[in-house]
Each structure stands twice: as C-alpha cells, then as structure tokens.
Structure 1
Amino acid sequence: MGMNLTLKHVKQVGPGRYEFRRRVPEAVREAIGKGEFKRVFEASSPAAVAREHARVSAEFDRLVASAGAALRDTSPRTPRETAQVNRKRAEELLAGVRGPEDEEAKRDLLADLLAEEGADPALYRAVRMPEEPLPQHTLEDARKLYLAEHIRADGKEHRKEELSLDRVFDRLRAALGAEVVRTTGLGALRREDAKKVRDYLMRLPKRGGGTISPATVHRDWKLIVAVVNFGLREFDLMGKAANPFASMPIPGATSGVTVSAAERRDAMPDEVAAKVLERLPPVLALIWRILAGTGCRPAEVTGLRVEDVKLDHSIPHVCIFPNEVRSLKTRSSHRRVPLIGDALEAAREAVEAAGGSAYLFATYATPQGPLAVSSTLMRTVREERQNPRQTVHSLRHRMKDRLRDAGVDKAAQDLVLGHAADSVGEAYGGAEGRLRVAHRALSAALRGDAEGQREG
C-alpha cells in the first residue's frame, strides 16, 4: 500500500511498514548519545500513518526538549556536587596508579603527584581523605533534585513549572544571597532566614506600580515549602532538620478565608472577547473561537488531533482525552464537548486548514504549545481589557456564568467544563447520554435560557 499523503522524515520500507528518521540537533547529540533518531512502525492506512507519525514526532520532540532543558541548567555546582565530582575523579586516577598494592600507599603516591603538579586542593583532599563526610545538601541541591525527579519525572519538559521554579529561586537568591542558597546546608537554615525571604517578597515591586499581592507571595511560598520538604525527605533529613519556611504567616494572603479561583478572576465581557478576536492571526483566532464556545482549557484545544473532532456525529463534538503531546488536569477532564454555533464553524475551518496533519493545530501540538498559545493570547487580552482580573482563563468563567444564568444544574455544568466526578458521569449513563446532557446544557447557555437542558 502506498501512502496518499506526504509527511516529513518518514518513508515506506515494506508493505504496511514505515521508518521515521530524523537527525538529532547538534547541540544535544552528546547529551542524547546519538546523531540520528529512528523508529519503525506499522500502519494500514494513510490516517494510521499520520497518527503514528504524530506519535513518533512527539517522542522525538520530548527527547530533544528534555536534553536541551538539562543542558540549559548551567547553574554552578554546589559544595556537595563538587565533592562528589572530585571523589569520582580521585577514584578514576587511583585506578591508574601502578606499583604499590596497598591502597593507602597508592593514595600517598597519587597525592604527592597531585601536589607536585599544583592540582586542585579539593581533588588532593578527595584522594587523601576518601571517608571524609560530604558537605550538607543545600537549597540549590533541593532545587535540582525537585526539577529532575518531580517536575521532569515523566521524561517530558514542563516549561511552565520550570519557569515558576526558576522565578522563585531567583527571588530566593536575591533575598538570601546566591552563595547562601548554593552553599548553606538545609539543616543550617533558620527561621530568621525564612522571615528575611518573606519580607523581601512582600516588598517586591510589580509592573505597573505597587508591590506583588499577598496571594502571589503565598503562591511562591508554597513552592519554596514544597521544594524544601522534597529535599528533606529525599536526602533522609526528616527528623534531623526542620523546614524553616513551613507554617510561615503571609500577612493578607488569606486572612482566614480561602480565596477561590472564581474570586481571583472575572468572567470576560463579550465586547472584550470580540476585540481580542479581531486582533488575532488566523490560527489563534480559530483557537479563541473554540475556547469561547466550549469553555475548554487552552491545552485541551491545542492538543486536539483531527480525529478528535467529530463533525459527522449527530451531535458534533470534540473528544478531550490524553495523547502524546498533552496530558489532562484531572480524570474528570476526560470528556466529549459539543460544538455549537461559531465554535462548530471554527472547528470545521480548523479541520480543513489542518490538511494532512494529524493534529488540528500542528504548530502548537507540542508540550510547550499551550504555554505559547496562552502567552500570546494573554498579551492581546492585556491590551484590550480594562479589568486586570480578566485573563485567558476568563473565557471559562464566562461560559460558567452563561451555564448558571441559563439555569443549567451544577452537575451538567461540571460535565461540560470537565469538573464532574465519576459519580456525576455515571448518573447520566454512558458516553452518548453524557454527550446529550452536555449538548442540552451548552445549547441553553448559548441561547441564554434553560430550554436546551430539558428533555425533548
């Protein structure tokens, strides 16, 4: 069977067998350990070839992104890392010493040679005193471990979380000093250090004047506490050292009252949404129209495959499920969302524009795609809004308000927006039943009354 579409980096190598080959960028070849990426897959139709091509392409992108992210972390070594490097180097050099059979004599001979050559005193020390305890783990050690084993634990690059970690630690270094963060052991940090960081954050200026809000300080603080707790646990320091950042009061952050997401953002007025749409380039305009008409999250739309868009179904809809380039926030986010009105027209236009691509918006079908879309959309929103509490996410609040104003019950609202618990989904029966309920709810919201939610 020959392919009826042209895809980069793939060729047919036999009946139903295809090979994907792509050169690894020179900047990350050493980190990856090879100069070319190859995968062979089987597919029985052009559509299947496109799906497999998208899957393997995404795997390649993740591999390159992960290697590139590791190379970008060029922060100076901590004392413990330096000691470990010197200890390893000392053992390598010791293995090359010939003559004395006694290990202590070998170490003496090697140390004398290093002293004559004026080698690094730390390396000399590692040869002479192999049993010397390693320096304590520091905040910087905890940051690096949190990045490697928490944020990147799945082998993917999570740019938004990495940027948040970078931002918070830049602020930590500014408050305490870069050397304190890099060299001071976790067990040596005191409550006074934590208060110093808190007071620095509370005075931090923001764009447009004033200081950052207590809520922003609280958000950063939670990440600091999480990183230190992770380090204490993974470095086996629980019970030996306390987290000085834990339970630190942040004046004005909560005042004893939990601030909901709804209170932190306002729904977007129709006129603002329309002005934003007018200024967007074609692809982003299609994404905006689907977001506005479905209440979906940006990542849910940018990660759509063409096959996820069911235009020929009796109820046109999109299937929101995890795939190679996009995970989902919660299990309840797995759902089918009806397409009605302008969102349906936008989906039709997007499918036609996708051509032979497996993804509806191929440009943004990467792990970093949702962040790129949100950042670009947010720039336009800032220029058109009058209320600073309006963000891209305000489109979801807008849909939430419309559903509520139309008299749609909360369970059906949650089914549309991806908040529904398993028990809610089960109450509406199977997938087709849930789709009908969601269609009635959205129809009611977009008409402005509750008629669309009622049984026919």
Structure 2
Amino acid sequence: MNKKFANRDPLRYLKARGSKWHYVRRVPGHFSHIDDRGTIRISLKTSSLDVAQIRRDALERADDMYWQGLALDDPARAAHGQYTAAKARAIALGFEYKAAAEIAEHASVEEIIRRITAAVQNPRDEVAALGGLDEPKLTVRKAMTFYIEELSADEIQGRSASQLKKWKQLKNDAADTFCEVISDKPLLDITRADATKYQKWWLDRIAGKDGGKPISGNTANRNMGNMRKLFREYMKHLQLELKNPFDGLSFKDPKRKRKVVPPFETDHIRKRLLKGTPFKTMNKEARLIFLAMVETGCRPSEIANLKPENIHLKAKIPYISVTFTDDRALKTENSVRDIPLVGVSLAAMKLAPKGFPRYADKEAALSAALMKYFRENHLFPTDRHRIYSIRHSYEKRMLEAGYGDEFRRRLLGHDIDRPEYGDGGSLAWRRDMMAKIALAYDASVLD
C-alpha cells in the first residue's frame, strides 16, 4: 500500500443512511470561491461497504482532480483535470466514461436511458453520464511535465536528489528532441508517421549523417523508450486503448567498433597507482574512494554513497554493505551485497569510517574530479582508460586467478542467470578469496 494513504480513515466521506452508503464531503475553504456546492452529498446506491469504498475513492479522486483543474491557470492542464474528474465520476456512477458521440452511435437504448436518468437525478453528473468532455489535448511537453509531476510516483521512489534530477533531465530531453524534430503537438495526435520520422532522425544521427559525431544506438533507444513510455502511461491514466505509435521502433548499434573501457594492467596498478605518492595533491575523499575501489571492484557511486552504518570496520571480518536506502536507488537489485575489505581498500576505509560527505549523492562531481586529476597527472596509460578501468581490472584479476563466474558476478553486483541459493559464501571465505589477489601497496599512497 502507498505510504501516503496507509493511515487514512477507511470510512472517510462515508455516511450510512438507512441501508445505503452516501458520499458526504465539504468543499475545502480555499476552493469555495470556485465551487459553490458547500457540502457534497451523493448516494452510492449500495449497502456493501466494499463497493461503497470503491465508489467513494472514484468520487474523491474526481473532486480532487476537478478542484485542481479549476485552480490551474493553464487551460490545457485545467481541461485535463476536468476530463479525468469526469471519468472517475462516471465510474462511481456505475458507467464507463464515453464521449457523447460514442454514446449516440454505439450505446443501447437501455444504456442511454440509464445515463439520462443519472444526469436528471443529479445535474452535476451530466458531463460524466453523457460524455460532455472530449479527451484533453496536452501537448508533448505539457504531457511530459504531467507525467513527471503526477504519474511517476512508483518510478521515482527511492531516488536521491541527483538521481531524480538526472531522471527528469532525460525525460525532458526526449520530449524536447521530439518537439524539435516533429513539433510540440498534442500527445494523443502523434501518428505512426510522426514516430517513424522521429526514428529516421535518430538513425541518421547514429550513422553520423547529420554531420555530427555518431551516437550510440543505446542513446537513441533511451529517447525512443521515454517517448513510448510517456504515451503508454498517459493512455493508461486516461483509460484509453490506442495504438502506441512508438511500439516496435528501436535501434541497434552500428557495426563500427564500440568504445570499450579497458582494464588497467596489474603492473600499472602496482607501479603507478600503489607506489610512491601518485595522489598527493588529490583531495582526501576522492583519493580514498578510488583506493577503496581497488580491492573491492565497487562502482565509484557505491563507495561515495556509503553511510556510516554501512561501514563495518569493527566487525570480526571488516566489510562494507552496498544496499538500498530510503533516499537513493541502486543500479539493480543484484547490486545489494556485503563486500569484505582487504589490502589498500581496508586501509582507505579505516581513514573514512563515516563515509564521504563531500561526494554523497554527487557522483558526477566525483567522476569529474578523478578524471581531471588522472589526466593532468598522466595516470591513465591510454586515452581510452577511465576511472571504471579499476573495476574492470578487479574482474580481470579474479578471472586470471581462476575464480568462478558466479563468484565474480556476486562480488561485483552483476546479474546472476539462475535462481539464487544461499548467500554466496561466508564473509570469511570471501575475504580469504579476495586476500589471495590483493596487491601490495605503499602506505604513502594513502597520504
């Protein structure tokens, strides 16, 4: 159950009169100047509490959306609120909401009579019963804003401020790009021809035909996927059944060689990164985060966002816990894991027992700081290497030591292609396996 509603009164706005339940609700004071109903009283026409609660929920949502629509300065958003309210109210009345033209053309005589009767009994239900509103025409940009603000609660749950900012940016970028290529037309008016034109534009960018640097199929797929999901979720919200014009449109990466981030060679790590004072002028937190990655294979963000309670230095087997928190999502469920600390990574974490506040939820700043320092100090062996190369190096060291695929996947937080049994081995066993490949280091690299 949604936490927002978990503690709400199950009998809110319900009053029993005789054997029937009624919906009784006062118009909030701050809406009284635009809604003169005072106290709303509607018979729910049922003696079943379960049915009454379902119809109450629909009416409650209808009124909330109606007031929201009336209060909005944006006519398109206001129309959307009123339309959604009419659909919810129709459900409460026992009807499926249909536009007036559809009722006239397809409804049976008996259904038309029932709808007219409902409208006559309560004139305020005329729109809901007789289909007085057409589907709202939110444009692509406004629909995306509505999706972000109203329809994405489950999708954004647990994201941190920086994760949410990036998520919103990707959604808005997809909408902006579509508007530049096609137009900021009403979302529900998008045709298959529009979608295939949009696909062709991305295909040209993947091939570099626009004169710019070729992009990856992954980038194009992300943008197409965001538009596909926007259309799908908006339809679902309006309870429409339309063909999604973006369905089936995706991209493959071209045959050109993809950019692969190579691992650091073990000799490079020993001689350039764990010897002497290679990080002498780097800020302490960035230095310790990188060194904590060396013998854990963790992602930079996983180390940077460790909370004090996830750092277990006093345990018999010192370890860190990468886990979900209320304010931050992980890449995948498989990312949740306990990682023993050995070698230079243990030494680094002992110098940061409370974590890394400078870079908590700021992995972009961390990445920029590390990349700048490595480049300026010639710590990358080639221009293809990145900070992630240290994670790839750890996987390569495990592979060359003969460690099995599942052990490597569990330690690195990758997906495992079978049902999980057990915990992947005790901390002591994992610590001993990791200690076998731990690299010698100079204490000076920590300073």
TM-score by length of 1: 0.56
In 1, Cα distance between the equivalents of 2:375 and 2:187?
42
Residue 160 in 1 paired to residue 155 in 2? Answer: no
Residue 363 of structure 1: SS of its match in structure 2?
Answer: coil
Relative to structure 1, the CA distance from residue 168 to residue 318 in structure 2 (aligned partners, 3 Å threshold; closer, same or farther) is same
Deviation per residue, 1:369-410 (Å, 9 max, x gap): 334323443555677657676444333222111111111112
Aligned residue among 172, 182, 190 for 2:178: 172
Deviation per residue, 1:27-57 (Å, 9 max, x gap): xxxxxxxxxxxxxxxxxxxxxxxxxxxxxxx
Matched AA of 1:444: K
Aligned residue among 321, 330, 335 for 2:323: 321
In 2, Cα distance between the equivalents of 1:369 and 1:328?
14
Relative to structure 1, the CA distance from residue 170 to residue 131 in structure 2 (aligned partners, 3 Å threshold; closer, same or farther) is same
- Aligned 1:295-444 pairs, distance under 5 A: 295-351=297-353, 359-365=354-360, 368-378=361-371, 380=373, 385=380, 390-419=385-414, 424=420, 426=422, 428=424, 433-444=425-436
Aligned 8 A contact 2:263 2:392 in 1: yes
Relative to structure 1, the CA distance from residue 268 to residue 144 in structure 2 (aligned partners, 3 Å threshold; closer, same or farther) is farther
In 1, Cα distance between the equivalents of 2:158 and 2:317?
36
**Unpaired segments ≥5 residues, structure 1:** 1-75, 89-129, 352-358, 449-456
Aligned 8 A contact 1:299 1:326 in 2: no
CA shift at 1:346, angstroms?
Answer: 0.9
Relative to structure 1, the CA distance from residue 156 to residue 362 in structure 2 (aligned partners, 3 Å threshold; closer, same or farther) is closer
Aligned 8 A contact 1:411 1:424 in 2: no
Superposed CA RMSD: 4.0
- Aligned 1:8-47 pairs, distance under 5 A: none
Matched AA of 1:374: S
In 1, Cα distance between the equivalents of 2:214 and 2:82?
44
Matched AA of 2:435: S
Mean Cα deviation higher: 212-221 or 335-344: 212-221
Aligned 8 A contact 2:310 2:322 in 1: yes
Aligned 8 A contact 1:215 1:254 in 2: no
Deviation per residue, 1:185-241 (Å, 9 max, x gap): 42x2122212222233344479x9622233322232222222222222222222xx2
In 2, Cα distance between the equivalents of 1:225 and 1:200?
16
Provide the identity percentage: 23
Deviation per residue, 1:297-329 (Å, 9 max, x gap): 233212222343222333222122333443333
Residue 133 of structure 1: SS of its match in structure 2?
Answer: coil
Aligned 8 A contact 1:310 1:316 in 2: yes
- Residue in structure 1 matched with residue 23 of structure 2 by the alignment: none
In 2, Cα distance between the equivalents of 1:209 and 1:139?
26
Relative to structure 1, the CA distance from residue 330 to residue 84 in structure 2 (aligned partners, 3 Å threshold; closer, same or farther) is closer
- Residue in structure 2 matched with residue 116 of structure 1 by the alignment: none
Residue 194 in 1 paired to residue 195 in 2? Answer: yes
CA shift at 1:335, angstroms?
Answer: 2.1
Deviation per residue, 1:99-145 (Å, 9 max, x gap): xxxxxxxxxxxxxxxxxxxxxxxxxxxxxxx9443533443344224
**Unpaired segments ≥5 residues, structure 2:** 1-71, 85-130, 441-447
Aligned residue among 210, 217, 226 for 1:223: 226
- Residue in structure 2 matched with residue 355 of structure 1 by the alignment: none
- Residue in structure 1 matched with residue 235 of structure 2 by the alignment: 232
- Aligned 1:256-275 pairs, distance under 5 A: 265-269=261-265, 271=268, 274=273
Residue 295 of structure 2: SS of its match in structure 1?
Answer: helix
- Residue in structure 2 matched with residue 91 of structure 1 by the alignment: none
- Residue in structure 1 matched with residue 287 of structure 2 by the alignment: 285
CA shift at 1:84, angstroms?
Answer: 5.2
Relative to structure 1, the CA distance from residue 312 to residue 155 in structure 2 (aligned partners, 3 Å threshold; closer, same or farther) is closer
In 2, Cα distance between the equivalents of 1:443 and 1:305?
24
- Residue in structure 2 matched with residue 356 of structure 1 by the alignment: none
In 1, Cα distance between the equivalents of 2:374 and 2:179?
32
Relative to structure 1, the CA distance from residue 221 to residue 85 in structure 2 (aligned partners, 3 Å threshold; closer, same or farther) is closer
Q: Which has the larger radius of gyration?
A: 2
Greater share of helix: 1
